[in-house]
């Protein structure tokens, strides 16, 4: 039988703060780059749109690499962010070039 007195387990909630994850203005700048690339792609300039996304990614990733913990863009550690950022830029350009030229 189940007893009516249940033991309460006290859990501690991990500290989560969006203020430590980066600057809001930087997120809006990146969102504007994505919107600009989407508009350029809808007009028909797909390579230019991918170039805009890749350049925005490279700038953000290089900024993260140089600034380290003071960067306005933070997801995880600087090393992880740079690896993912540079891999995304390389993948975007490689995929676009392979689809366009081959």
- Res 55: pLDDT: 93
Residue spans of the chain under pLDDT 50: none
- Res 37: pLDDT: 95
- Res 13: pLDDT: 62
The three-state DSSP-derived secondary structure of the chain is: CCCCCCCCCCCCCCCCCHHHCECHHHHHHHHHHHHHHHHHHHHCCHHHHHHHHHHHHHHHHHHHHHHHHHCCECCCCHHHHHHHHHHHHHHHHHHHHHHHHC
- Res 16: pLDDT: 55
- Res 27: pLDDT: 86
- Res 19: pLDDT: 57
pTM of the full structure: 0.72
- Res 101: pLDDT: 81
Q: Domain ranges for the chain, please list them.
A: 46-102
């Amino acid at each position: 039988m189940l007893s009516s007195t249940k033991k309460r387990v006290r859990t501690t909630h991990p500290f989560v703060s969006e203020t430590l994850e980066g600057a809001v203005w930087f997120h809006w700048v990146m969102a504007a780059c994505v919107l600009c690339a989407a508009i350029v792609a809808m007009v028909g300039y797909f390579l230019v749109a991918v170039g805009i996304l890749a350049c925005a990614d490279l700038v953000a990733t290089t900024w993260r690499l140089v600034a380290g913990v003071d960067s306005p863009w933070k997801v995880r550690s600087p090393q992880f962010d740079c690896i993912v950022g540079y891999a995304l830029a390389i993948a975007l350009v490689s995929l676009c070039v392979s689809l366009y030229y081959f």
